[in-house]
């Protein structure tokens, strides 16, 4: 199938893009890499009257370290991170996540901002950036606001963006020298979306942990008080104290009623904890 007719704008700078988005009706869609939007247009699952192409916005292609955080423009592609064209503040964690997304043709065009805005629960950045404690700057012609990743994805294919807003930048805190990272996803075959994701950021020295259970057909489960998964205490020997029953109970409480699905999620999370501890 082919998309329904639409008008097309390709602004040359962010200010012009925000002006177009601010004046447009509800029936407007931003396009970045087009890896999710184009198939939806072709299948006529979305039929916007206008498409605003943000691929010419140099402001959204910057990637710089500012102090203790990486500030990524929304149009940075998965391949930019995979190929090391962005500063590494996560000791290789983001590089590994990027390299595991789909296959190279998708990674060449797909953007981090597009992936987060699309808010597919099975998308890698949705879980990984929540575990890394990232925040997003959302900008409109009226101003900007910052939203934590934990609050940005509110449901399957639903995010906190308001009409006229764009994801401008993603702010990723630098990973501490004593932090451990584990990221495991389960896919039927390479290049497919995951059906379970476990992301783990543990700092045994600080006694802190963030754990994300993703690809659950809803917003990912972000556990910031993750000590309860380790008998109440995060310390050097945390791997041996990981309690899968607590993870199972969290999934059940989140509405994952199928025991087989919970088992897959718990197994994937257990592997992510082991990877972090290795
Ligand atoms: C075959 C295939 C396999 C894939 N496998 C995986 C996978 O394993 N893991 C994974 O994570 N992803 C996967 N993807 C998705 C891919 O990562 C896309 O990059 C991503 O979903 C969308 O990014 P995009 O830049 O192409 O966005 P687009 O398709 O251009 O846009 C997606 C949505 O986001 C909105 N949008 C885009 N940019 C912005 C912005 N800056 N501000 C506000 N709204 C914006 C658009 O309006 C649209 O609603 C796969 C895609 C394909 C085609």
* Nearest atom, ligand 1, residue 124 CA: 11
CATH number at residue 247: 3.30.390.50
List helix spans (H) across the chain: 14-23, 37-42, 78-82, 93-99, 104-109, 112-118, 124-131, 149-152, 238-241, 244-253, 259-277
Angle between helices 259-277 and 244-253 (to 10 degrees): 130
- 95 and 147, same domain (yes or no): yes
Between the CA of 265 and the centroid of ligand 1 the distance, in Å, is 23
Centre of ligand 1 from the C-alpha of residue 31, in Å: 9
Is 169 in the same domain as 223?
A: no
Average pLDDT of the residues of the chain: 95
Q: What percent of the chain has pLDDT over 90?
A: 89
Q: Ligand 1, from 26, 29, 32: best to mutate by most atoms within 8 Å of Cβ?
A: 32
At 228-270, the pLDDT tens digits run 999 998 888 888 899 999 999 999 999 999 999 999 999 999 9
Query: Which of 173, 197, 218 represents a domain boundary (last residue)?
Result: 173
Residue 164 lies in a domain: yes
Predicted pLDDT at 66? 96
Instruction: Work out whether the CA dihedral 159, 47, 55, 1 comes out positive or negative.
Output: positive
Residue-by-residue DSSP string for 177-210? TT-EEEEEEE-SSTTSPPSEEEEEEEETTTTEEE
**Ligand 1 atom nearest 31 alpha carbon:** 30
- Residue 235 domain-assigned (yes or no): yes
Atom of ligand 1 at shortest range from CA of 138:
42
Domain count, the chain: 3
Q: Which atom of ligand 1 is nearest to the CA of 161?
A: 43
Range of the structural domain that residue 273 is part of = 180-277
Whether 250 maps to a domain, the answer reads yes
Residue nearest to atom 33 of ligand 1 (CA): 118
Task: List all residues whose CB is within 6 A of at least one atom of ligand 1.
Answer: 29-37, 54, 74, 101-102, 106, 109-111, 113-115, 117-118, 123-125, 161, 166-167, 191, 193
Q: What is the mean pLDDT of residues 24-48?
A: 93
Does 1 reside within a domain? Answer: no
Nearest CA to ligand 1 atom 18: 110
β partners of residue 186: 196
Residue after which a domain boundary falls, among 117, 144, 173: 173
* Per-residue pLDDT at 46 exceeds 90: yes
Q: Mean pLDDT, to the nearest integer, of 132-142?
A: 97
Does residue 154 sit in the same domain as residue 236?
no
Residues 200 and 161 both lie in one domain: no
CA of 14 to the centre of ligand 1 (A): 20
pLDDT tens, 176-222?
A: 999 999 999 999 887 788 999 999 999 988 888 999 999 999 999 99
The verdict on 69 and 86 lying in the same domain is: yes
pLDDT at 25 over 90: no
What would the pLDDT profile of 100-123 be if each residue is shown by its tens digit? 999 999 999 999 999 999 999 999
């Amino acid at each position: 199938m082919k998309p329904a007719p639409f008008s097309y704008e390709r602004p040359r700078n962010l200010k012009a893009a925000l002006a177009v988005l601010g004046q447009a009706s509800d029936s407007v869609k931003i396009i970045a890499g087009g890896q999710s939007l184009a198939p939806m247009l072709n299948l006529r699952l979305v039929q916007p009257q206008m498409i605003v192409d943000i691929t010419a916005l140099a402001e959204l292609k910057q990637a710089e370290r500012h102090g203790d955080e990486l500030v990524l423009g929304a149009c940075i592609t998965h391949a930019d991170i995979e190929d090391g064209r962005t500063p590494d503040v996560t000791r290789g964690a983001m590089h590994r996540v990027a390299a595991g997304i789909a296959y190279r043709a998708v990674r060449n065009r797909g953007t981090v901002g597009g992936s987060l805005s699309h808010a597919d629960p099975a998308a890698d950045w949705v879980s990984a950036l929540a575990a890394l404690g990232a925040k997003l700057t959302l900008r409109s012609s009226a101003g900007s606001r910052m939203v934590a990743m934990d609050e940005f994805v509110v449901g399957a294919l639903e995010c906190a963006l308001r009409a006229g807003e764009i994801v401008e930048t993603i702010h990723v805190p630098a990973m501490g020298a004593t932090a451990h990272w584990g990221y495991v996803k389960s896919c039927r075959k390479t290049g497919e979306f995951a059906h379970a994701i476990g992301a783990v950021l543990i700092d045994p020295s600080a006694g802190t942990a963030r754990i994300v259970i993703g690809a659950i057909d809803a917003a990912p489960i972000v556990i910031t008080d993750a000590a309860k998964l380790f008998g109440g205490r995060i310390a050097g020997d945390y791997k041996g104290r990981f309690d899968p029953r607590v993870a199972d109970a969290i999934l059940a409480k989140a509405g994952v009623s199928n025991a087989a699905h919970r088992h897959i999620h718990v197994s994937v999370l257990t592997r992510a904890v082991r990877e972090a501890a290795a």
